């Protein structure tokens, strides 16, 4: 990071607008090199996710069901 600064917590960061404001605040503190590293990590993650989807498609396995739908109580009427 360019320089040390303190960020005081705020409740408004819990809102969508406040969250975007907080992201912009943090982005301003990153150097160009740090931004490039972040982009490279995001690209690597995207490529791994794509490769995993392709591998699962070849095996014929789809996405796993959500836990909430898998572990229902017997007496639930859904």
Residue partners of 62: CB distance under 8 A and separation at least 6 = 56
CA dist., res. 78 & res. 24, Å (int): 43
pLDDT at residue 76 is higher than 60: no
Mean pLDDT score across all residues of the chain: 80
Question: In the predicted model, what is the mean pLDDT of residues 56-76?
Answer: 68
């Amino acid at each position: 990071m360019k320089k040390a600064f303190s960020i005081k917590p705020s409740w408004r960061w819990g809102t969508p607008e406040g969250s975007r404001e907080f992201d912009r605040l943090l982005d301003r503190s990153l150097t160009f090199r740090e931004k490039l590293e972040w982009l490279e990590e995001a690209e690597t993650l995207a490529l791994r996710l794509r490769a995993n989807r392709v591998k699962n498609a070849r095996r014929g396995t789809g996405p796993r069901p959500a836990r909430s739908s898998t572990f229902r109580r017997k007496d639930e009427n859904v």
